[in-house]
Structure 1
Amino acid sequence: MKTAVEDVEKNKVRVVVEVPPERFDRAISKAYASIAQKVRIPGFRKGKVPARIIDINLGKEYIIKEAIEKALPDFYLEAVAKSGVRPVDKPQITLKQAEQGKPLIFDAMVQVEPQVKLKQYQGLSLTRRKVEVSNEEVDTQLAVIQERFAQLEISSKDKVEKGHYVLVDLDAHIGQARLEDGLAQDYLMEVGSGKHVREIEEALVGMERGQSKEIEVEFGPDHPHQKVVGKKATFKIGLKEIKEKSLPPLDDDFASQVGEFNTIDELRAFVRDQISSGREREAQNLLRAEAVDRLIENAEIDVPLVMIADKVEGWIRELSSDLEKRGEDLEKFLQTKGRTREQLRADYARRAEREVRRDLILDRIAELEKLEVDEQEVKEEARKISQTSEDNREQLYEYYTKDIGSAIIRRGLLREKALQLVIDQVDMKIEENKGEGENEDVQDV
């Protein structure tokens, strides 16, 4: 196969392809064989119709057209691989010559990945957050663990206070009709938690053990059951018991209850390590995000809109598919969020442009640095991906170790290596921890 690439305009090329006559003739022979299996001509068995008879009945042009439709996609992909062109859109094919016994000649006009002009990617001056864990933070996390092991014990107090847990019987009526959702016995409630009907929680404060009380509750427009919205219900509350949360002491026995720890100091050290590990990951993600931002600033790229549009539409299809699996509809989902499909596209487009620029830059760095990925690395990554599926792990593994799937993994690993190379060469500065909750909008890199 002969190929030649001609620049047409910015980010668009013409690939001129010449397929040898013997290869095109083989494609025509396959077309004859395929048609012979389908066509019915009196006097000939299925699959045994000679080529000249097919020509008489269907015409030579039909056979050539059939051969081109079947073989052209493979010829095009081979030409793209040979010429080194990286298409980002479907090609416009123009046939120049298509005759049996002669070369098949065609042009493929296609939009391609843009050139990336990198100003700097080595020795970037970046800042990494200093990872520190205070004793107070460890104490706070220990208190959370302590809460999980708390026990409810009968309170010595006779009156309900906020923070108490109460055991109640509830009976609700709207007029003379009993409200089934308002009927409960031995119902446990945390007073002041905001998890229950506000008027009931407020009414419980100050009640004594064994006391009963009736209150009126009007159901507002945010109530989940529309049939009771705007109506008033009478709730009878019977207080049976008052309980308080009892926390276990932070001692060696507590540590052994939590896990395989012999002392409270071992548990404290474990908690500190867990917090520190999380902060390390966060700091690394921030550093990676800053590195990508700096690379984007230092690069000149005229990104084709089709690359952004393709990524956006892919995300929308993925979101729609995920919603369908949950029995939901994309349009209804957007309505609940107060968004339109166009607003969703605009949101996605901003993120998509950053990702496209990032990927193009990392591809260029991998090319400049002559980075490589071997088969074993591809297989290991394919195995990791396949393990995320419950049902078709082997099929996934096979897909990602061959052809297109393998190419996807290989390119992803090359990008990861390129970004790690940039990180490894950073001129690092360490800054003090700014505290929890900052930089929460760091984008995935």
Structure 2
Amino acid sequence: METTVETTDPHTVKLTIEVPEEEFGKDLDRTYRTIANQIKIPGFRKGKVPKQIIDTQIGKDAILEEFVNSSVPTYFRKAVAEEDLAPITDPDIDVQQLEPGKPFVFSATVEVRPRLSFEGSDYTGISVTKPSVEVSEQEIDDWLERLRERFSELEPVGRPVQQGDFVTVDLTVTKGGEKVEQASHEDYLYFVGSGEVGEKLDVELVGAKPGAILKVSDALPERFGEELGGAAVEISVLVKDVKARKLPEVDDDFAKTASEFDTIQQLRDDLRERLTEVKEREADAALRDLVLQAMIDKVDVDLPESLIEEETDHRIRHARDQAERMGVGLEKMLELQGWDEARLRADSREHAIRAIKSDLVLEGVARNASLEVTAEEIGAEIAVLAQAYDREPKAVAKDLERTGQVVTLAGDIIRTKALDLLVERADVERALPEHAPEEASP
């Protein structure tokens, strides 16, 4: 099969594909056999009807049309694979020669994904600054404060309610005069500031004393689901008692209670080590983003609008699915964020453009560096997927093959290896800690 490629527009190519007479003949025969198995002609066994009879009964033009419909997609896929093209739309097919005994010739005009070409020097020595991983004393103090809150005790206080207190209440929520069981509780320990049934109750509770009866009107938070989330309700509360957190002192006794260590210094050292590990992982991830963004900033590529729109629509569909899984519609979720659909589309479009450019950059690097994916690497990724979904690797591999997603998986692996290479060749400078003292001027 011979293919010539002509660029007709910035993102559109015309492939002229010539299928040799021998290959064309075999595929045309296959079409005849398929039709012979589908029709019944008196005097002939099923599947044994001669071509001439089929032509007479069905019509030769109909036979050739069936051949084009069944065989052209295969020829087209083979041609774009041989030419290393990535179509982003369905092709416009034009049959130029379709005569038995001659080569089959047709053209396919299609919009294709852009390609970037690089030399090794283009992605070597990218200058970036890796975030600092040094842990400050304040960060350790913040974690110790969280530990203190976790090991705090509640004790009664003889004062009005303050923000951050815990109050025992009888809580009754009604909607249209009917009690909302999901939000109503007796002898309920309520954290002031949680906004559990709306923010207005927290405001009214501050300053209240035991025995106080409070009534407020509010809307239930979205966590109550699609039916009740955002619903107007009446809230009645009887305050029974007030408790405050009693935080433990940060000393060796606290270290023994809150950890496996005997001294507070040992606990601080352990926190520093753990926080450093976390910041190292975060810094590594940030470094990869920085290197990729720096590479994206170096290239100037015109993207097909259809490609941008497809990726944008995909992201909006994902947002809609995510909102539905949370029990709220997309419109409601956007309202809670102070967004509208126009802003969502603009934001999705911006991220779509960056994602497409990222893929194009990494694919270009992979081509120049001749990066490949091995069967072992694909197998390893399939094993990870299988473990995540608690399935057998063979079953996952079969599904990926059936749906064609194994190609997507291979592409992900290639792009990851290309980004690894970018980071490996980058000129990386480590940032100074924010609290590091500046050097004195000479």
Into which bin does the TM-score normalised by the smaller protein fall? 0.7 to 0.9
Summarize the Cα distance change of 1:280–1:171 in structure 2 as closer, same or farther, 3 Å threshold. Answer: closer
Match of 1:190 in 2: 191
| Sequence identity (%) | 31
Letter in 1 for 2:31: A
Letter in 2 for 1:346: A
Contact 1:295–1:361 (Cα < 8 Å) also in 2: yes
Note the alpha carbon deviations across 1:401-439, whole angstroms, 9 max, x for none.
Answer: 68943332232222222222222222222323459xxxx
Letter in 2 for 1:416: T
User: Mean Cα displacement is larger for which, 307-316 or 248-257?
Assistant: 248-257
Contact 2:323–2:329 (Cα < 8 Å) also in 1: yes
In structure 2, distance between residues paired with 1:13 and 1:228 = 58
Contact 1:21–1:102 (Cα < 8 Å) also in 2: yes
Match of 1:440 in 2: none
Contact 1:117–1:301 (Cα < 8 Å) also in 2: no
In structure 2, distance between residues paired with 1:171 and 1:330 = 30
| Secondary structure at 1:38 match in 2 | coil
Summarize the Cα distance change of 1:220–1:184 in structure 2 as closer, same or farther, 3 Å threshold. Answer: closer
- Return the match for 1:135 from 125, 137, 140: 137
Letter in 2 for 1:188: L
Summarize the Cα distance change of 1:179–1:16 in structure 2 as closer, same or farther, 3 Å threshold. Answer: closer
Summarize the Cα distance change of 1:104–1:326 in structure 2 as closer, same or farther, 3 Å threshold. Answer: farther
Q: For residue 203 of structure 1, report the CA deviation from its aligned partner.
A: 5.6
User: Mean Cα displacement is larger for which, 177-186 or 403-412?
Assistant: 177-186
In structure 1, distance between residues paired with 2:174 and 2:220 = 20
Note the alpha carbon deviations across 1:298-344, whole angstroms, 9 max, x for none.
Answer: 22322222221222222233334444556655566556666555543
Match of 1:105 in 2: 105
Contact 1:116–1:300 (Cα < 8 Å) also in 2: no
Gaps of 5+ in 1: 436-445
In structure 2, distance between residues paired with 1:319 and 1:74 = 35
Match of 1:276 in 2: 276
Match of 1:26 in 2: 26
- Return the match for 2:124 from 122, 125, 139: 122
Counterparts of 1:58-73 in structure 2, within 5 Å, are 58-73=58-73
CA RMSD of aligned residues (A): 3.7
In structure 1, distance between residues paired with 2:365 and 2:416 = 11
Contact 2:132–2:430 (Cα < 8 Å) also in 1: yes
Contact 2:95–2:107 (Cα < 8 Å) also in 1: yes
In structure 2, distance between residues paired with 1:173 and 1:19 = 75
Summarize the Cα distance change of 1:171–1:279 in structure 2 as closer, same or farther, 3 Å threshold. Answer: closer
Letter in 2 for 1:219: S
Match of 1:144 in 2: 146
Summarize the Cα distance change of 1:198–1:82 in structure 2 as closer, same or farther, 3 Å threshold. Answer: closer
Counterparts of 1:29-428 in structure 2, within 5 Å, are 29-116=29-116, 120-153=122-155, 155=156, 157-162=157-162, 163-169=164-170, 184-191=185-192, 195=196, 198=200, 202=204, 205=207, 207=209, 212-215=211-214, 217-220=215-218, 235=236, 237=238, 239=240, 241-248=241-248, 264-323=264-323, 329-330=329-330, 341-390=341-390, 394-400=394-400, 404-428=404-428
Contact 1:18–1:104 (Cα < 8 Å) also in 2: yes
Summarize the Cα distance change of 1:67–1:183 in structure 2 as closer, same or farther, 3 Å threshold. Answer: closer
| Secondary structure at 2:62 match in 1 | helix
Note the alpha carbon deviations across 1:258-297, whole angstroms, 9 max, x for none.
Answer: 5665665554333223322232233233322222222122
| Secondary structure at 1:120 match in 2 | helix
Summarize the Cα distance change of 1:186–1:58 in structure 2 as closer, same or farther, 3 Å threshold. Answer: same
Q: How many residues align?
A: 424
User: Mean Cα displacement is larger for which, 244-253 or 31-40?
Assistant: 244-253
Contact 2:220–2:231 (Cα < 8 Å) also in 1: no
Contact 2:31–2:66 (Cα < 8 Å) also in 1: yes
In structure 1, distance between residues paired with 2:46 and 2:338 = 61
Contact 2:7–2:13 (Cα < 8 Å) also in 1: yes
Letter in 1 for 2:238: I
| Secondary structure at 1:300 match in 2 | coil
What's the TM-score once normalised by structure 1's chain length?
0.80
In structure 1, distance between residues paired with 2:184 and 2:297 = 63
Letter in 2 for 1:138: I
In structure 2, distance between residues paired with 1:354 and 1:142 = 39
What's the TM-score once normalised by structure 2's chain length?
0.80
User: Mean Cα displacement is larger for which, 299-308 or 39-48?
Assistant: 39-48
In structure 1, distance between residues paired with 2:420 and 2:275 = 24
Match of 2:431 in 1: 431
Summarize the Cα distance change of 1:434–1:120 in structure 2 as closer, same or farther, 3 Å threshold. Answer: farther
In structure 2, distance between residues paired with 1:71 and 1:340 = 46
Summarize the Cα distance change of 1:193–1:385 in structure 2 as closer, same or farther, 3 Å threshold. Answer: closer
